[in-house]
Amino acid sequence: MDKLKLSEYFSEIYDDGTVPSFKVLIDGKWVKTKQKMDLISPVDGSKIAEIGSVDEELINKAVSSADSNKSKIRGMAAIDRIELMNTARVELEKHKEEIVNMLVRESGKSFRSASGEFNAMIERLRLSMEDSRKIIGEYLPGDWSSDTSQKIALVIREPLGTVLGISPFNYPVYTSVAKVLPALLSGNSVILKPPSADPIAFLMCAEVLRKSGVPSGTLQVLTGSGGSSGDMLTQSDKVNMISFTGSTDVGKHISSIAGLKKIHLELGGKGAALVMADADLDLAARECVKGSLELAGQRCDAISRVIAVEKIYSSFVDKLKEHMADYNFGNPLENEKVTVGPVISSKAAQRIDKMVKDAINKGAKLIAGGNYKDAYYEPTLLVDVPLDAEIANEETFGPVVTVIKAKDMDDAIRIANNSKYGLDSAVFTDDFYSAWEIMKALQVGNVTLNSAPSHGTAYFPFGGVKDSGAGKEGVGYSIEEMTSLKTIILDLSPKNLGKKYSGSFKD
């Protein structure tokens, strides 16, 4: 792979050497770190950059800066914050090609997937006005209750202070911006920790935000391993909220050490697609393959289990085989038509292969794929997967269509709900009443009818139950998570302006 070199616009975020060495954003300036981490591209296994790894001194400096500068963003008029985000949106669009290319190089995404992620980020920024409409309050007249009859109250939303955002490798740009945007719009300062595996594209976005006028010190961007640095940030008493997207194990760890902070967790999933006997089988097969293979299956809202009733099972499997051919597998830098590229690392490919082999050893049938080399895992179709197979229960995060047979609708619901996860699911049926019954019965935070789950700009609220997390993300809904309610009570009785309770109509 050619040496990575960015345009002059981004020259401050890294030092150009044998390999570029990237900095971190602290107190409005790009800062070198003493320690570095290698960034290995899953596309060809080459080292393409060094990433800064923050130590305790830099973490403390970033936290102090976020805390001391939060009044800058809180003091801005809401319309100024919206216009700031619109300025950043326009500027980001000028650098789309470069940011998309970086996403492909560092994460192995296809160009279609990388472009889709960038477009979703732009659309989320465009909807910042919609986000901001949630920063409202309400007037409560007290005379509905005898003990508050001469009082009124205003319930308003206020920023929490400093929000710590931690984002995952699968959507390093969109998810990072989807944490930074509502935090800043609602008047919080932000510390953002992008993923260690592929942070560069977001560092580029952070530079655009900085140059677009985000007040100095209200956005800190720290890279490095998630262990010790993540714990330090999570435990800091100057961090008022944590918004984390990632694995369930890490989410539980954060909850155990964070203390009395507001926490939003968007964790793992084991999304089920339930295919009923009256479903449009071609539609269902196309959507199930799409939901399983998009982004090489590395999505928390991926279809991770396909549960088909036995009446149409054989015909449906034939349809799945047909639609597997719709996807081009290979190196995204060598062929822009590739739709399934590598997973994030060779270690991830090995983990997927272990799950596939476990399923086969327990009786599943391998219909397609099942091979890998380095970080490239072939799109794979597994059918007749037994319920005790690991891949039937644990998040796959790989390009595997996992098919399970159910006796009927009730059995399909039982199988789907027999999971520790509850993030997303899909239902395929042409019977409205069956659809309603199934969708109400599924123990998930989100369920989609006759389509693979896809959350795009998160215009609809998104979040899970059980081990899939707590809280909701989405346009407007993230604002609610990142603000707190304050009740202001006004006693009108000293000037006799209230409505005095007479008590004359008691029983």
| Residues with active-site annotation | 266, 300
Task: Please spell the DSSP secondary structure of 395-432, one letter per residue.
Answer: ---SSEEEEEEESSHHHHHHHHHSSSEESEEEEE-S-H
- On the 0-12 / 13-18 / 19+ scale of CB atoms within 10 A, 371 is exposed
The Cα 230–Cα 102 span in angstroms is 25
The Cα 61–Cα 73 span in angstroms is 19
Structure tokens given for 210: 């900085």
The Cα 274–Cα 271 span in angstroms is 10
Q: Angle formed by the axes of helices 409-417 and 432-441, to 10°?
A: 30
Closest C-alpha to 399, from 344, 362, 333: 344
How is residue 148 annotated by DSSP?
G
- 290 neighbors 256 (Cβ within 8 angstroms): no
Closest C-alpha to 207, from 180, 243, 242: 180
Unique residue bearing structure tokens 């999505």: 299
The Cα 132–Cα 125 span in angstroms is 11
The helix/strand/coil state of 500 is coil
The Cα 223–Cα 244 span in angstroms is 15
Q: How many CB atoms lie within 10 A of CB 79?
A: 10
- On the 0-12 / 13-18 / 19+ scale of CB atoms within 10 A, 98 is middle
How is residue 329 annotated by DSSP?
B
Cα-based distances in Å from 384 to 283, 305, 358, 402, 475: 21, 11, 13, 8, 39
The helix/strand/coil state of 262 is strand
**How big is the CA angle at 379 (ends 378 and 383), to the nearest 5 degrees?**
120
Task: List, as own/partner pairs, every contact residues 128-132 make where C-beta atoms lie below 8 angstroms and the sequence separation is at least 24, other chains included.
Answer: 128/82, 128/85, 128/86, 128/181, 128/185, 129/82, 130/459, 130/475, 130/476, 131/181, 131/182, 131/185, 131/475, 131/476, 131/478, 131/479, 132/78, 132/81, 132/82, 132/185, 132/186, 132/479
382 forms beta bridges with: 366, 402
The Cα 24–Cα 13 span in angstroms is 7
